[in-house]
Structures are given as structure tokens and as C-alpha cells.
Amino acid sequence: MEVNPFFIQAATMLQQPFPREAIKQRTGGGGTRLSYVETHTVIRRLNRLIEFGMEWSWEINEERVDPSPDGKGERMTVRGTLTIPGFGSREGYGVQIINARGGEDMVKGASSDALKKAATLFGVGLDLYGPDYEEEVQERANPQGHGGDRTFGDDEEASNVRREAVREYGKKFQEFVQVIYGLGMIPDGWNKDQLEVEVINLANKHFKTVRTENNLLEKLPDAQQLTKMLTHYRKLLNQKSEHDAA
């Protein structure tokens, strides 16, 4: 089946790294410095889809209030769906801690976070999470060592296959992070290293890995394992949403 070249160009545009001046810094958990782009920057990137005859849409599906993870207050969670014609739909979750002065700004902030997180599943701003996922996939693709890529080969077609595998793994990882975030299993503001450690821990629990020096998973789960975990936790999240709505 022939792929519409406009889709390829649009996907490339969405995944372009942001210029340095667009990237902001903030302090996250544990005093770590986190890189991010502001919501209006993401919206401008999405608006460029009009160059390819596409119009994106954003719909808020759910707003709910839950106890905060530390048990000292409440937080608002917004779940929304970002749709791009030809690319499909992706869900994102945003969270804001509730305070007396929050008002509409609190809902707006949670919705903005949800939009940005959904956009990462289309590749927008994915470069801010670093190159580690590519290293993981390439290592799995070449388990024999560094003497050439024995799985994919060295030609241009093989390189395209590898890059596509890297992109798909990165998107799936971000979707998994959003799902467990929606379940309240991780706090807001964790950096990439903290997220990876938690995903490894969940993989060990999910697959009931025998915790010995030889069998304990020390790296991110592979694509097949991550897919199984995503299916399981997505089902839990759907059940939670149905329970909250009842």
C-alpha cells in the first residue's frame, strides 16, 4: 500500500526538535532540572498541520478529583483526546493540585498538561526525553555485540526499520507512563531516570520475575513486554474511569 507523502511530511514536521530558545527549565522532584516546552509552543506546532490540509482537535473526556498521593489534599485529573486526521487519536492526562485560589486556572492547567502529553504520542517534543530509548532498542537489535547490526543489517532500508522501531517504542513508553500516571501510581514531575526505574520495577512485578541476580530485569522491558504491560494497565485505567463515573 502506497503511503501518502503528505503524511510522511506531516509526521516529520511534528517530530522536529524544538529550537533551544523554545525549551524551558523547571525544578522537579528531588531538585532535578526538567526540560519542557510551553503549551502555546505545542499548539503552534499542531497548527502547522494546516499546511498539509489537516486540522487537529482536542476534546476533554473527563475531569475528576482524587486524594493527592501524599494524602494531604486533593488533585484534579483531566483526561483528553487529541485527534489528527490520518494519524488517529491519542489520550493524555494532566494533573493539578487543588488549592483555594485555583479556580478555572486549575482546570486550564490540567487540560494544558494533558494536551502536551497527548501530543508527545504523536512525536511532538519527544526529543526532550533524550536518546536512551534508541540505545535500548539498538542494543536489543544487536544482541551479539558491536560487530555490526545482525538483526537489521547495514543498508538504508534496515536503518529505516530500526528508526521506526525506536519511534514506536518511545511512543509506547510515553503512553504507558500516562496510563500509570492516570492510575495515580506515579507523581507529577518525575524525571526520565525515575520513570525508567519505576517501569523496570513494574515489569518485574508484572512478569513475576524471580528476584535473583541472574533473573532480575535491570533494563527497560522490550517492545513485546511493554505492549503486554500497556494492555493490562490500560484495562485497569478503563475500569477506574468506569467506576468513578458510576
Q: Where are the domains of the chain?
A: 1-126, 130-246
- Which triple of cell numbers denotes residue 19? 529550537
Distance of alpha carbon 244 from alpha carbon 223, whole angstroms: 31
CATH number for 1-126 (one of 3.40.640.10, 3.40.50.300, 3.90.870.10, 3.30.390.80): it is 3.30.390.80
Distance of alpha carbon 116 from alpha carbon 39, whole angstroms: 7
Q: pLDDT at position 140, please? A: 45
What is the radius of gyration, based on Cα positions, of the chain? 19
Q: pLDDT at position 42, please? A: 95
Q: Which residues contact 245 (CB under 8 A, 6 or more apart)?
A: 62
CB atoms within 10 A of CB 79: 22
Q: pLDDT at position 144, please? A: 43
Tally the C-alpha atoms within 13 A of residue 24's C-alpha that lie toward its C-beta. 10
When pLDDT is averaged across residues 63-71 and rounded to a whole number, the result is 76
- Which triple of cell numbers denotes residue 85? 486526521
Mean per-residue pLDDT over the chain, rounded: 76
Q: pLDDT at position 58, please? A: 96
Instruction: Give the largest CA-CA distance in the chain.
Output: 60
Confidence class for position 1, pLDDT limits 50, 70, 90: very low
Cell 494492555 belongs to: 231
The pLDDT tens digits for 106-126 are 788 889 989 998 998 888 987
CA 150 remoteness from chain centre: 29
Asked if residues 79 and 91 have their Cβ atoms less than 8 Å apart, the reply is: yes
DSSP E strand stretches across the chain: 23-27, 33-37, 57-67, 74-84, 88-97
Asked if residues 196 and 204 have their Cβ atoms less than 8 Å apart, the reply is: no
Distance of alpha carbon 232 from alpha carbon 243, whole angstroms: 17
The pLDDT tens digits for 161-201 are 566 777 788 888 888 888 888 888 887 767 676 788 788 88
Confidence class for position 218, pLDDT limits 50, 70, 90: low
